[in-house]
Copies of this chain bind each other. A is one copy, B any other.
Amino acid sequence: MEKQLTKQNIGVGVAGTGFIGPAHIEGLRRNGIQVLGLAEVNAETARTKAAELGIPRAYDSFDAMLADPDIDIVHLATPNVLHYPHAKSTLLAGKHVVCEKPLAMTAAQSAELVQLASQTGKVNAINFNIRMYPLVQHARSLVQRGEIGELFILQGSYLQDWLLLTTDWNWRLEPDLGGTLRAVGDIGSHWLDLMTFVTGLRVEEVYADFKTFHPVRKKPTRELETFTGKLQQSVDYIEQPVYTEDYATILLHYEKGVRGVVTVAQVCSGRKNRLFFEINGSKSSLAWDGEHPNDLWIGNRTEPNQIVIKDPSLLASDVRSIASYPGGHAEGFPDTFKQLTKKVYDYIFAGDFNKQPDFPTFADGHYEMVLCEAIARSAKESRWIKVG
């Protein structure tokens, strides 16, 4: 008989301590959940980072972590290429898994993971953390209650500047590690997931226009962590051709005649991490900017526009609990990890895995892979591609 997992006894393992691993760890700890063990690229890094982060066990390898019978669940915060094999082996080891996005390198892989998760009956989550901003959830509640009316347009962008310069480098630029899509896979996928989460609408077909503004970049001879390039000292470089997109605009035909368009780019000076969406419906519009996540704009035709501040007393009652602090006390990016972790672990502790999860799962991760493959194909073939 399976042990009843509790906040006190659950054994949590984390793989990866780059940009995003520590965000998972904080999210766990804020929920009063301890991290038991850490796997890293090698045994030495694991030991160093475990000591630094106050994690009791450091493993020689990912497989060693999986082999630890005290580990009940694994968080995958590794480069994209490792998500599929690690998620697969975690599930096969009979453990729950929380995977960073993207779920895999191909839709075939992600489909396999969805099936495997279903077979093993293990809890499977994918970290579409942006869903967990209180005002994103409030937006969803407004749409679902019909406050926006019949939907017309989903528009927006996700813009960053950390890959602006030819000297900016990161593993995400290498298809072998990051995938054949880059801007779309890394950040576009968040936007696409968010729109389906908020509206419940699926994409019927896509049309994409891509561009690589820097076909050659200067790759440093030693590795860099994501985002840290901006603070990098000058080092030795080698010139490296880049085939992944710096820019993409995707036209989207959603179900029910809804039109969509999103622009993603990582070469937009001054935009640090700006996910923006606007939803236009027959009654009202919604707009939200991830760099100012505590405000939600509601656009009206016959009344003044509105700004909803993240304040529990202003949020829809069904999403209120996702705001931990009172109105005007800004919450942010790390809080989304806290909230997603809470939902996943509450679900695990409740123990009823037939219940519909209230967090993103491998099925959502797979859907993004299918969508991204259609987008990549459209960009290549310059035509509308049906999704799924």
A307, B309: Cβ atoms closer than 8 Å: no
Residue interface mask A123-153, B partner, CB < 8 A = 1? 0000000000000000000000000000011
| Nearest chain B CB to A128 CB, angstrom units | 15
Judged by a CB distance under 8 angstroms, whether A350 is at the interface is no
**How far, in angstroms, from A68 to B90 measured CA to CA in the complex?**
42
CA distance A162 to B280 in the complex (A): 13
Chain A interface, number of residues (Cβ within 8 angstroms)? 93
| A325 sits at the interface (CB 8 A) | yes
This protein's copies in its complex: 4
| A308-B304 in contact given A29-B32, A247-B259, A269-B284 (Cβ < 8 Å) | yes
In the complex where A160-B328, A247-B153, A281-B269 touch, is A298 in contact with B304 (Cβ < 8 A)? Answer: yes
Evaluate contact between B267 and A327: CB separation under 8 angstroms.
no
Q: How far is the CA of A343 from the CA of B155 in the complex (A)?
A: 37
Name which of A113-121, A194-202, A287-295, A365-373 contacts chain B.
A287-295
Q: A231-B312, A307-B306 are in contact. Are A268 and B285 (CB under 8 A)?
A: yes
A329, B326: Cβ atoms closer than 8 Å? no
Q: Provided the pairs A213-B152, A230-B313, A329-B332 are in contact, do residues A269 and B384 lie with their beta carbons within 8 angstroms?
A: no
Known: A268-B280, A273-B327, A305-B307. A231 touches B333 (CB 8 A): no
Whether a CB of chain B sits under 8 angstroms from the CB of A265 is yes
For A290, list chain B residues within 8 Å (CB): 328, 330
Once bound together, how far apart are the Cα atoms of A159 and B382, in whole Å?
27
CB-based contact A269/B291 at 8 Å: no
Q: How far is the CA of A301 from the CA of B159 in the complex (A)?
A: 13
Contact assessment for B294 and A291 in the assembled complex, using a CB-CB cutoff below 8 Å: yes
A333 to B273, CA, bound (A): 19
A193 at interface, CB cutoff 8 A:
no
The reply to whether A280 and B267 form a contact with Cβ atoms under 8 Å apart is: yes
Q: How far is the CB of A250 from chain B (nearest CB, A)?
A: 10
**Which of these, B53, B230, B270, B305, contacts A284 with CB under 8 Å?**
B270
Minimum distance in angstroms from A157 CB to a CB of chain B? 7
26 A-B pairs whose Cβ atoms sit less than 8 Å apart in the complex: A22-B324, A32-B53, A155-B157, A159-B280, A162-B327, A165-B301, A209-B253, A209-B261, A213-B257, A226-B326, A227-B326, A230-B302, A230-B313, A231-B320, A247-B259, A249-B259, A268-B285, A270-B285, A270-B301, A272-B311, A272-B328, A273-B328, A304-B314, A331-B333, A331-B334, A382-B384
Q: Which residues of chain A have a CB within 8 Å of any CB of chain B?
A: 7-8, 19, 22-23, 26, 29-30, 32-33, 53-54, 152-153, 155, 157, 159-162, 164-165, 207, 209, 211, 213, 226-227, 230-231, 246-247, 249, 251, 253, 257, 259, 261, 263, 265, 267-274, 278, 280-285, 290-294, 297-309, 311-314, 320, 324-335, 338, 382, 384
